[in-house]
Amino acid sequence: MNVQRRFRENIVGDRIGADIFDFAARIYPICRSITGDGVRQTLRQIGAHIPLQIHEVPTGTAVFDWVIPQEWNIREAYIKNEQGEKIVDFAQSNLHVMSYSVPVRQRVSLAQLKRHVHTLPDQPDLIPYRTSYYAENWAFCMPHHLLESLRDETYEVVIDSCLADGHLTYGEYLHSGETDEEFLLSAHVCHPSLANDNCSGVALLTQLAKQMAGMRTRYSYRFLFAPGTIGAITWLARNEAQSRRIKHGLVVSMVGDGGGPTYKKSRRGDAMIDRAMAHVLRHCGLAPAILDFSPYGYDERQYCSPGFNLPVGLLQRSMFGEIPEYHTSADNLEFIAPEHLAVSYRLITAAINVIENDAVYRNTMPKCEPQLGRRGLYGMIGGNKDSAAANMAMLWILNLSDGMHSLLDIAERANLPFAVIQRTAQLLEHKGLLVRRDDSSGE
Amino acid sequence: MNVQRRFRENIVGDRIGADIFDFAARIYPICRSITGDGVRQTLRQIGAHIPLQIHEVPTGTAVFDWVIPQEWNIREAYIKNEQGEKIVDFAQSNLHVMSYSVPVRQRVSLAQLKRHVHTLPDQPDLIPYRTSYYAENWAFCMPHHLLESLRDETYEVVIDSCLADGHLTYGEYLHSGETDEEFLLSAHVCHPSLANDNCSGVALLTQLAKQMAGMRTRYSYRFLFAPGTIGAITWLARNEAQSRRIKHGLVVSMVGDGGGPTYKKSRRGDAMIDRAMAHVLRHCGLAPAILDFSPYGYDERQYCSPGFNLPVGLLQRSMFGEIPEYHTSADNLEFIAPEHLAVSYRLITAAINVIENDAVYRNTMPKCEPQLGRRGLYGMIGGNKDSAAANMAMLWILNLSDGMHSLLDIAERANLPFAVIQRTAQLLEHKGLLVRRDDSSGE
Amino acid sequence: MNVQRRFRENIVGDRIGADIFDFAARIYPICRSITGDGVRQTLRQIGAHIPLQIHEVPTGTAVFDWVIPQEWNIREAYIKNEQGEKIVDFAQSNLHVMSYSVPVRQRVSLAQLKRHVHTLPDQPDLIPYRTSYYAENWAFCMPHHLLESLRDETYEVVIDSCLADGHLTYGEYLHSGETDEEFLLSAHVCHPSLANDNCSGVALLTQLAKQMAGMRTRYSYRFLFAPGTIGAITWLARNEAQSRRIKHGLVVSMVGDGGGPTYKKSRRGDAMIDRAMAHVLRHCGLAPAILDFSPYGYDERQYCSPGFNLPVGLLQRSMFGEIPEYHTSADNLEFIAPEHLAVSYRLITAAINVIENDAVYRNTMPKCEPQLGRRGLYGMIGGNKDSAAANMAMLWILNLSDGMHSLLDIAERANLPFAVIQRTAQLLEHKGLLVRRDDSSGE
């Protein structure tokens, strides 16, 4: 095995988008919920790529203000008309059954059935995604057009589900870095066949963890694959002391469509992850949205609750709730694409690169400019289209490296990508014009 | 008599606009100036509604850099032409005589008369409002069209006024609250028949004082009805020590037209009244203007002089000087309306509500979100159009109630009206999810 | 000789633009470089107006990271074709020879010649300005059209230059003020016949120094005429301790065209010179650009290097590099004009006026407004079109003169020109309503 490589921004080639997509496609058919075998199957798939640690937390366990619910599993479900035709079949789409539906096996009139059906009248061809985790109920979800076509007859409804004491399951993987300060990367695994929300995020983090395995990093990276809300609450309840090690964090969801990118800041608003992600997005060449924290969204709600207030933001492409495909059967494998997944991957690795490599340097020749020409530095990349930027990067770094500005500070002030500032700082350090602040004695 | 009610935002019903208008109409005909019987009559009218304390300050009394001037009263005034017709008559409009005009009774040529006439050439049908408090002079004010129609003949001019030692008169009323920290509400009473400027403000504060009489409040409310500039200076000179109790204040003028609303901040710029009034205006559904302090305007000039620097702002509808009716006979009872007065009243009571009820709470379940559904809180107002806002209000309050954010802080951050945040906080407190910071021991 | 006058904003009449232009025209023909007799001739011309101290620093002297280079002088240079015609002649334009070209005298083919020719293909009628101070080379500069017209024949190229040990020359003049705190005014003198860049700046500062000679000032004014980069570095290296006296500074270049004005802030960004210059520009009636510091530009690069971090900004009309005339033969005497030079001069003197006269006053009547009318102050300038501004100036000054706001603070807050605030403050001081803070005991 090779010596571990240092983390670099572009740690992979052109295959990454396809690799993420393929993994998302593999886990897409599984019927997940906040508990049950669908989560276990998904975690096993992840575990085929990284040494995932799987946790089972028993029903009834108290986690802060919550209690682990009964485990839900489902074998089959359908609605049959009087002709015996399955007009709705769970085997066709796991969205057809409201998640956590209690078992039912009965004959109902159309009127009775309608009280247990969810549709989207404004999107009549799509199946909605619905859940009822904490209120006992059952329901089918179907296209509104189908509902409208049903005759007034008797229907046989079957949901062969099981709600029983069992476990809540989640998986985590820790990539150990040079310090035990942690960077949390979290994706929810509780949604059934919704490709973007969140097969995309689960697949991206799985591939990132796999790529990172062979690398040396400053931070330790904790990858958490858990059901939304109750899963994050469970992890926090079981790792309260440990959570103080988290210095940076990102919730990753809906990263496979072509929208955004969208970054929602942590509750702190000025955490390093907020600055790094905002910087990367401003230079990504797309049309990013950088939003202040709000307490509605994904598991950043829990990580950023006032008793934790962790520096965890949310990265998405399109913002949740703002696209018509959201929480419908249109969030399928055609809605996500390898090229979008690759872009999302690179945004995250670029932000990690900032956080891994930000540092404060000091100009060793702070009185007037050093003579760059004599060192072959001035216009050295002449002819190269990046030469003007490289020259400006040198001047900015030398001017601001007074022991009080980090590379990210300089990148922001110079309005240049961090990677350009980083490369140029390495060159200047090599030429002896820059030293790391913590390399100097007496500070 | 009932137990005193707590101050609430909407303390009155639909009559309030009409009540304010009726009172404004009652005091509109009175000829007021900075001294004299017109002020006394006005204060007597106010005193019919609230137990007003009336102060008489003798001519010659020094008040800081100023001296109480002689008292001015007027019985009649007119201009007669050679046919004996009264072409201008004070009995028709008290704007016809420049305020503080010295007595005159003489025959003058048209040319001589013109040197004592004010008109508005650009608004030739209107009578201007003019004063000469501190320079001895006399003048008539009339429509420009009338002046232009005058023949070159001899005119008899009579101003039967009286300038003599007497008093400056002002009234004040203190509604005592739970603390002796005061909220100053101040309206100038020195203008003659100008409905908006300031019968509207005088009438609004009279009705507010009347409504407040039966209520329990945290602050004590001082209502001051005094002539502009010299009246405020007099009050400050006689109550210098007392003025330190003023924690919030509002000058109220021109609150009966349909413009604005306009709020000019106190000199401090970040006083609680500035934040509360700006918040209320941002959510009022109109097109508010929120202006930084400037040293030109109404009595906030005195309250915000550097030796006092009190947290006193100015509320108006249209900004003074920016409407054609300003300081003309067009500022009459047709220019103001009950519905505008009612809106102004509600803006002021909404700001008072913010200041009375702002408080810092603490989330009792700060680690992760509490399970709202279990408590019947989540989507509890489902179907109600306010339900989304109520849900967001709950999440914002729980997220930010870390002992460092007040309800107003939260309302500003969530961009929701204070009243929504306040109601939701009461609900959460009732459910045990929130406690007032000062209820906890050890803080 | 008269008693010295206090520095005033408009210290000169309408001749100033013409005087600056005439001086710029006088030094325009001289062939300057970073060393050599051209600089000496220029400094002698300056010395005819002010008692300039001229410094000669030997070749080889170390100045921080740099070394004083050999001195460069040139007698003649030309290219002759086979007919013996001088197709390019240094005597026609000193831009024809790349500055610091080594001597050459040889016959070359057209192909060989082309390797030593600079042109501007996009501006084919203009001669570019080129230098090669630190890389040994020779080159001619010519219009692109001329280059294209050359036949394929043998050319005689002659550059009769001399690179030898000698000196770097610069000049400085100190106008002594009441304190030894200094205001640095710096112009580069190293460019040959480029009128705007920087005959304009050299001429403006020469005239300013001359005008200032007879005046009393609070600060001492150091005028520095030195070659760009190496000259500023040399001065800083030889005056490192002295440089700490510099409390304000301005690099002056390209001040003769009609663009801008452009002010680039010092590295500090909030230095007094930054505030004063920005204030003056905002009220100049032109379309100013006020830019944050960046480490590319003129000698502010050295003054603002992190080891010095002096409060020195850059004033220009058009921003360097942003106009087609920049560093070409089109930057000639037709490109600059007396009226533009006069405007630039007044911008600088207005900023100096702010810095000389900014002070903190205290309102002697801070409790309520003083009675301005009694003192003949209110509307005193009635009829004068400046009267409203003067009244507002009075109110702002009285309101903000609480010992914590300077006149510039007040001018910025009131959005009124400093000169109006200054004049009004003098009037109020004369009337006893204002005292300088440092006139009061105990502070």
Reported as a pLDDT band with limits 50, 70 and 90, residue B381 is very low
Does position A8 have pLDDT exceeding 60, yes or no?
A: no
A218, with CB counted inside 10 A (0-12, 13-18, 19+), is middle
> Lowest-confidence range among A5-14, B74-83, B159-168, C21-30?
A5-14
Q: What is the per-residue pLDDT for C2?
A: 39
What's the rounded mean pLDDT across residues A300-325?
95
**A313/A345 same-domain check:** yes
ipTM of this predicted structure: 0.92
pLDDT tens, position by position, B268-285: 999 999 999 999 999 999
Q: What percent of chain A has pLDDT over 90?
A: 90
B chain contacts of residue C373, beta-carbon cutoff 8 Å: 134-135
Give one DSSP letter per residue of B312-329, joined into a string: EEEEESSPTTSSTTTTBT
What residue has token string 């000679």? Answer: C213
What's the rounded mean pLDDT across residues B295-324?
95
**B171/B160 same-domain check:** no
Q: What is the per-residue pLDDT for B5?
A: 64
Range of the domain at C103: 72-164
CA–CA distance, B249 with C93 (Å, rounded to integer) = 74
Cα dihedral across residues C122, C124, C130, C136: positive or negative: positive
For residue C233, give both structure tokens: 């570095």
Q: Do C306 and A399 touch (CB under 8 A)?
A: yes
Last-in-domain residue among B294, B325, B356: B356
Among C292, C300, C303, C305, the residue to mutate for chain A (most A Cβ within 10 A): C305
- CATH number for A23: 3.40.630.10
How many CB pairs lie under 8 A apart between chains A and B? 62
Q: Up-side HSE of residue B284: CA atoms within 13 Å toward CB?
A: 29
Q: What is the per-residue pLDDT for B377?
A: 87
CA–CA distance, B131 with B138 (Å, rounded to integer) = 9
Q: Do C396 and B237 touch (CB under 8 A)?
A: no
β-pairing, C246-252 with C312-316? parallel
* A389-394 contacts at long range (C-beta below 8 A, 24 or more positions apart): A389/A416, A389/A420, A390/A420, A390/A424, A391/C296, A392/A416, A392/C294, A392/C295, A392/C296, A393/A420, A393/A421, A393/A424, A394/A424, A394/A427, A394/A428
CA–CA distance, B313 with B263 (Å, rounded to integer) = 7
Among B233, B292, B305, the residue to mutate for chain C (most C Cβ within 10 A): B305
Among B294, B299, B303, the residue to mutate for chain C (most C Cβ within 10 A): B294
**B24/B115 same-domain check:** no
Backbone φ and ψ for C98, nearest 5 degrees, come out as -60, 130
Angle between helices B387-400 and B407-414 (to 10 degrees): 130
**A222/A270 same-domain check:** yes
Mean of pLDDT over chain A: 94
Q: Do B367 and A307 touch (CB under 8 A)?
A: yes
Q: What is the per-residue pLDDT for A214?
A: 85
Regarding predicted confidence, which is higher, C177 or B385?
C177
Closest chain A C-alpha to B391 CA, distance in angstroms? 9
Reported as a pLDDT band with limits 50, 70 and 90, residue A378 is confident
**C334/C241 same-domain check:** yes
Q: Do A302 and B368 touch (CB under 8 A)?
A: yes
pLDDT tens, position by position, A85-103: 999 999 999 999 999 999 9
**B375/B351 same-domain check:** no
Interface of B to C at Cβ within 8 Å reads: 63-66, 134-135, 229, 232-233, 236-237, 240, 267, 294-296, 301-302, 304-309
Reported as a pLDDT band with limits 50, 70 and 90, residue B378 is confident
Q: What is the per-residue pLDDT for C443?
A: 38
Determine the length of chain B: 443
What's the rounded mean pLDDT across residues B63-70?
98
The ranges of chain C with pLDDT < 50 are: 1-3, 11, 380-385, 440-443
Closest chain C C-alpha to B283 CA, distance in angstroms? 28
Q: What is the per-residue pLDDT for C146?
A: 98
CA-based radius of gyration for chain B: 25
Mean of pLDDT over chain B: 94
User: Which residue in chain A has the smallest CA separation from B370?
Assistant: A65
**B276/B380 same-domain check:** no
- CA–CA distance from A79 to each of A121, A141, A142, A144, A202 (Å)? 20, 11, 11, 15, 32
What's the rounded mean pLDDT across residues A282-302?
96
**A190/A271 same-domain check:** yes
- CA–CA distance from B144 to each of B101, B123, B128, B147, C154 (Å)? 20, 7, 10, 5, 91
User: How far out from the chain centre does Cα A272 lie?
Assistant: 17
Terminus-to-terminus CA distance in chain A, angstroms? 39
**A9/A151 same-domain check:** no
Q: Do A267 and B399 touch (CB under 8 A)?
A: yes
Q: Do A373 and C135 touch (CB under 8 A)?
A: yes
**C256/C177 same-domain check:** yes
Reported as a pLDDT band with limits 50, 70 and 90, residue A13 is low
pLDDT tens, position by position, A148-173: 999 999 999 999 999 999 999 999 99
Q: Do A304 and B374 touch (CB under 8 A)?
A: no
CA–CA distance, A118 with A271 (Å, rounded to integer) = 41
B115, with CB counted inside 10 A (0-12, 13-18, 19+), is exposed
| C neighbour chains, 3+ CB pairs within 8 Å | A, B
Stated pTM of the model: 0.92
What residue has token string 């030739």? Answer: B124
Cα dihedral across residues C286, C394, C13, C346: positive or negative: negative
Total domains in chain C come to 3
Q: What is the per-residue pLDDT for A5?
A: 64
**A242/A208 same-domain check:** yes
> Which residue, C222, C213, C206, C209, is CA-closest to C4?
C213
Q: What is the per-residue pLDDT for B13?
A: 62
- 3-state SS, residue C131: strand
Q: Do B236 and C368 touch (CB under 8 A)?
A: yes
Q: What is the per-residue pLDDT for C379?
A: 64
For residue B332, give both structure tokens: 């009459």
Does position B223 have pLDDT exceeding 80, yes or no?
A: yes
What's the rounded mean pLDDT across residues A308-335?
95
> Which residue, B229, B307, B312, is CA-closest to B268?
B312
Last-in-domain residue among C339, C356, C373: C356
- CATH number for A156: 3.50.30.90
Give one DSSP letter per residue of B151-178, joined into a string: -SSEEEEEEEEEEES-EEEEEEEEE--S
pLDDT tens, position by position, A187-231: 999 999 999 999 999 999 999 999 999 899 999 999 999 999 999
Last-in-domain residue among A304, A333, A356: A356
Single-letter residue type at A320? F
Does position A381 have pLDDT exceeding 50, yes or no?
A: no
pLDDT tens, position by position, A120-152: 999 999 999 999 998 899 999 999 999 999 999
Q: What is the per-residue pLDDT for A385?
A: 45
Residue C433 contacts residue C370 (beta carbons within 8 Å)? yes
Closest chain C C-alpha to A262 CA, distance in angstroms? 29
- Residue B182 parent element (H or E): strand B182-188
Does position A384 have pLDDT exceeding 80, yes or no?
A: no
- CATH number for A416: 1.10.10.10
Kindly provide the residue ranges of all beta strands, DSSP E only, lying in C357-431, ordered along the sequence: 360-363, 402-406
**C300/C171 same-domain check:** yes
User: How far out from the chain centre does Cα A371 lie?
Assistant: 46
User: Which residue in chain B has the smallest CA separation from A243?
Assistant: B367
